[in-house]
Amino acid sequence: MPGLSDRTRGFTDSVIRRMTRISNECGAINLSQGFPDFDPPQEVLDRLEEVSHAGPHQYSVTWGAQNFREALAEKQSRFMGRRIDPDSEVVVTCGSTEAMMAVMMSIINPGDRVVIFSPFYENYGADTILSGAEPIYVELRQPDYTYDPEELEAAFAMKPKALILCNPSNPCGKVFTRQELLHIARLAEEHDVFVVTDEVYEHILYRPHEHVYFATLPGMWERTISCSSLSKTYSITGWRLGYVIGPAHIIDVVRKVHDFLTVGAPAPLQEALVPALRFGDDYYRDLQRKYTEKRDLFLEGLDEAGIIHNVPQGAYYVLVDISEFGYEDDHRFCEDLARIVGVGAVPGSSFFREPVNNLARLHFAKSEETLTAALDRLRHIDRLRR
C-alpha cells in the first residue's frame, strides 16, 4: 500500500477530544472539553425554530450571508471601536478552528516561522504542521503566566512570519495587559510580522481585566488578522460559526482558501443567529456576570477541597496543581480522575511545550448544578493520592 502523507506523520489525537471520550465512557462529569451544558439564549432557539421551516436550507454566499456579515460587522465595530466593512473585511467560517487554519494557509509558506506562547491551545500545533510552519515557542511562566520580554525579543529576532495571540488565553486564563500588547505590537512592526489572534473568549473576562483587541492598537490593523467565534459568546459550540476580520487584501485570499476548504458556514444557522448579533450591551454584561459567578463558585469549591489552582483573568478554564498526588504522568492522573473520582480533566502537558506534567485543566462553563456535583466528587480527590 502507498504511504500516507508526510505532513500528518507527527499528528497525535486531540487530547481534549480523547478526554471527552474517556469521560463519556466512564460516566464522569466532563470538565475537559470546554463547552456549556446550558442552552443558548431563548431568542436564538426561537429563531432557529422559525428558520427550520422558512430556510435558508441551501448554501449562503461562500464568505458569509450578507445579513449575517452586516450584523457581525456592526457588533464588532461597536466593540472594536473601528468601522469594519462587512463586504471586504469579514469572512464567516466553520468555527474559529477553520478561521485559523484558513488564515495560516493564506499567509504561511512551508518553512516560515511562527511565534506561539506556551501553554497554548492544542490546535495551533496542528495548524503549524498543516501549513508547514516552524513554531518558535515563548514561555508564559507559572504562576501568573507572564512572559520574559527578552525571550520574546529573541523569538522575533529569528525572523518569524507571524505570531499567534490567544487572548484571553486558553488554557491559562491570561488576559494580556495593554502594556504587553503594545510591546508585542512594537516588535511586530519592527520585524514586519503578522499577528493572528484567537479571541474566542473576547466577552468572557473577570474584573478588573479588560479585553484589548490587538487590531485596534496604533498601526496594528494592517498586520493583524483577527479570528474569533460565536461559540462561546452565545453558547453554541456545536453550530460551528466563526469568522476572520482583517484588511481587505488579506481577507480576499482568506475567502478563497475558506471557499475551497468548506464552501461556507451553515446557512440556516447563520440566519438563526442574526438577532443575537444585534443584542445590546446588557447581554454581554450579563454573560460576564454569569461566568464570574461560575468562576467564583468553582474556585471556592476547589479551595474547600484543598486543590491548588491558578486564578483565571478571562476564558473559562482553571489549571489545578496535581504535584502532591505523586503521579509522574498527568495523562494517567486524568484517566484516574475520570474513572475513580468521576470528573473529566485535560492533562496539562498537552498545552505546554516545556516538560510540564504537574497540571490538569478543568473548565467551568457548566450550570451551577453540574459544577456543584463535580465539586462534590472532587472532595474525594484524595483517593488518587499515592
Binding site for ligand GLN (CB under 6 A): 16-17, 33-34, 121, 170
The nearest distance, CB 219 to ligand GLN, in angstroms, is 30
The nearest distance, CB 133 to ligand GLN, in angstroms, is 20
Three cell numbers at 44?
436564538
Nearer to ligand GLN, 16 or 107 (CB): 16
Q: What is the DSSP string of 325-371?
A: G--S-HHHHHHHIIIII-EE-EEGGGG-SS---SEEEEE--S-HHHH
The nearest distance, CB 57 to ligand GLN, in angstroms, is 26
The nearest distance, CB 92 to ligand GLN, in angstroms, is 18
Rounded to a whole number, what is the largest CA-CA distance in the chain? Answer: 59
Q: What is the DSSP string of 97-142?
A: HHHHHHHHHHH--TT-EEEEEES--THHHHHHHHHT-EEEEEEPBT
DSSP state of 164: E
Cα distance between residue 81 and residue 210, in whole Å: 14
Residue 328: CB atoms within 10 A of its CB come to 8
How many residues does the structure list for the chain? 386
Pair 63, 94: CB distance under 8 Å: no
Nearer to ligand GLN, 170 or 310 (CB): 170
Mapped onto helix, strand or coil, the DSSP state of residue 93 is strand
The nearest distance, CB 166 to ligand GLN, in angstroms, is 10
The nearest distance, CB 54 to ligand GLN, in angstroms, is 30
Is 344 buried (19+), middle (13-18) or exposed (0-12) by CB count in 10 A?
Answer: buried
Cα distance between residue 31 and residue 43, in whole Å: 27
Nearer to ligand GLN, 118 or 271 (CB): 118
Cα distance between residue 197 and residue 338, in whole Å: 33
Nearer to ligand GLN, 67 or 262 (CB): 262
Nearer to ligand GLN, 64 or 344 (CB): 344
Nearer to ligand GLN, 17 or 289 (CB): 17
Q: Closest-CB residue for ligand GLN? A: 34
Instruction: Name which of 275, 207, 307, 242 is nearest 99 in CA terms.
Output: 242
Nearer to ligand GLN, 17 or 379 (CB): 17
Nearer to ligand GLN, 60 or 170 (CB): 170
